[in-house]
Amino acid sequence: MKIKFLGTAAYEGVPSLFCTCRVCQKAMKEGGRELRSRSQALINDELLLDFPPDTVWHFQRFCLDWTKIGDCLITHDHSDHLYPEDALMAVEAYSNQHRPLHFYAAQSGYEKLMACVPFAETAGAGISLVEPGRRFTAGEGGKYSVLPLRANHEDATSPVIYSISCEGKRLLYAHDTGVFYEDTWKGLKEEGRYDLISMDCTGCLEKAGPDYHMCLRDIRGVLERMRSEKLADEKTTVVLNHFSHNGGLTYEEMCREAEKEGMIVSYDGLELVV
């Protein structure tokens, strides 16, 4: 299974609009991996994770092939993960003939998309309501088995993390979430071992509490439990992702910390195969 990280920042992006902090200034000066757009990822060139306002930019920068991309899983409806106004471009008047894009979103994201997009006029694009704990299939011939689980994030945004399995490989996309709830641990245990885990690292090394988002300290604890419950082992690829400039570390500085523990720091354009 291949995953490409298209955007790797939290809501503000790095550099953040209006900001003059040290991290943003370095990103502005150096560009490259220091520069982060809002979170989105793509699996096997065909399964999109989230639909942020930077989707247009990701399409232009990475030449996304819309003849391959058929499905989009929404984690929750904060605007850095779901910008429904741009989903309206699926209407033929904006984008002419194209492959339909099917959205999967939990309650509040579902409602926002339905309010914004006239799905009857979108050349076959559609939407499915997902619920934490209820498995579904996505992709050509239902090749992806997807289990949404409740995320520890603002409840009003119907937040979920996604466990995605395909052709004997399993991936966990855990953004935005704090340390997992017990019912989420139960769901993960039923899934089994992960080949790749992408973890929320909004706070970089340290943050105030275990809710809504994580930092490296929280991730260490989560990984320890995942290893003890045989959900991860030494061969599991661990990616730190979804960074805020307010975490206070640059890409380069974050890499120094993560490398000590065999973890990978995401950047826009990072591609991994497991």
Q: Nearer Cβ to Zn ion, position 53 or 187?
A: 53
Using CB under 5 A as the criterion, what x/- string covers residues 75-114 for binding Zn ion?
Answer: ---x-x----------------------------------
In the DSSP assignment, the letter for residue 38 is B
Q: Return d(Cα 175, Cα 197) in angstroms, integer.
A: 11
Pick the closer one to Zn ion by CB: 176 or 195.
176
Residue 241: strand, helix, or coil: strand
Toward Zn ion, which CB reaches closer, 122 or 158? Answer: 158
Sign of CA dihedral 37, 47, 66, 32: positive
25-54 positions binding Zn ion, by CB under 5 A:
none
Residue-level length of the chain? 274
Give whichever of 24 and 215 is closer to Zn ion, judged by the CB atom.
24
> Which of 150/165 has CB closer to Zn ion?
150
Closest CA to 129 of 102, 110, 144: 110
Element (H, E) at 186: helix 182-191
Report yes or no: 71 and 47 within 8 Å, Cβ to Cβ: yes
Nearest approach, Cβ of 202 to Zn ion (angstroms)? 7
Compute the least distance from the CB of residue 28 to Zn ion, in Å: 9
Q: Which amino acid is at 192?
A: G
Span 154-193, contacts to Zn ion by CB under 5 A:
176
Residues that bind Zn ion (CB under 5 A): 10, 16, 19, 21, 24, 78, 80, 176, 245
